[in-house]
């Protein structure tokens, strides 16, 4: 969706976030606001390594677009994470790039690992006027480009994460953090 041109600003929203200004516009400042959300899956013993992907849950509660249009972009935040990126500028043709970086593996307390490539995501935005503008994919243990954000544009959609469940793994809680970044030249 289009946003009004103005002083150069980047706006990135992943899961539970907040606008850093109070006017409901893209007038944020550099920095972080809001919690780091968690996605998780519990693999039932009877399904260990059977190759059937399992949907992951989320502790996100954000369902309404932070852009200020009131869209119910992610109607089921317990199974989705909203991702939004906006780039405002006065002039020029440069774009911003939305990327995600991931570790090579998820690791448990005993040092056992699950390759991050076992985690993928689909996208949807049933309540948005611009659905599926951020690509679906599978984490690769590096930096991945998700979307190019043209000047004076805001993109958002919901990511639903899945665990591939393709191998039997040691019991435990496995952790890893992915980081979304929005950058412009």
Residue 178 to residue 176: CA distance in whole angstroms? 7
Phi, psi of 45 (to 5 degrees): -55, -40
Sequence length of the chain is: 185
Per the CB < 8 A criterion, the answer to whether 1 and 127 are in contact is no
Alpha carbon distance 159, 14 (integer Å): 10
What integer pLDDT is reported at residue 17 of this predicted model? 72
User: pLDDT tens, 130-148?
Assistant: 555 888 999 999 999 999 9
Strands 137-138 and 119-124: antiparallel
Residue located via tokens 């850093």:
20
Answer whether 10's CB lies under 8 Å from 182's CB. yes
Tell me the pLDDT tens digit for each residue of 91-107. 777 899 999 999 999 99
Q: Are 165 and 49 in contact (CB under 8 A)?
A: yes
Tokens of 9: 């600003």
Residue 60 pLDDT > 50: yes
Please choose, from the candidates 126, 105, 129, 127, the residue with its C-alpha nearest in 3D space to the C-alpha of residue 116.
Answer: 105
- Contact assessment for residue 152 and residue 96, using Cβ atoms and an 8 Å cutoff: no
Q: What is the CB-side half-sphere exposure of residue 63 using CA atoms within 13 A?
A: 10
The CA distance from 35 to 9, in Å, is 21
Q: Which residue, chain included where needed, has tokens 């500028």?
A: 89
pLDDT of 2: 77
How far is 107 from 176, CA to CA, in rounded Å?
Answer: 7
Better-scored residue on pLDDT, 28 or 37: 37
């Amino acid at each position: 969706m289009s946003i009004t041109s103005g002083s150069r600003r980047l706006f990135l929203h992943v899961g539970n976030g907040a606008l850093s200004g109070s006017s409901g516009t893209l007038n944020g400042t550099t920095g972080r606001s809001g919690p780091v959300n968690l996605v998780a899956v519990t693999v039932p013993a009877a399904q260990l390594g059977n190759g059937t992907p399992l949907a992951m849950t989320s502790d996100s509660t954000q369902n309404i677009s932070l852009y200020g249009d009131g869209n119910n972009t992610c109607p089921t935040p317990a199974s989705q994470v909203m991702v939004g990126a906006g780039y405002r500028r006065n002039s020029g043709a440069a774009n911003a790039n939305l990327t995600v970086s991931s570790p090579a593996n998820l690791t448990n307390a005993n040092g056992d690992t699950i390759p991050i490539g076992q985690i993928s995501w689909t996208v949807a935005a049933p309540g948005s006027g611009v659905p599926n503008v951020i690509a679906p994919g599978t984490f690769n243990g590096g930096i991945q480009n998700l979307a190019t954000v043209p000047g004076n544009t805001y993109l958002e959609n919901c990511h639903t994460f899945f665990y591939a469940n393709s191998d039997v793994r040691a019991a435990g809680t496995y952790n890893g953090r992915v980081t979304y970044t929005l950058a412009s030249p």
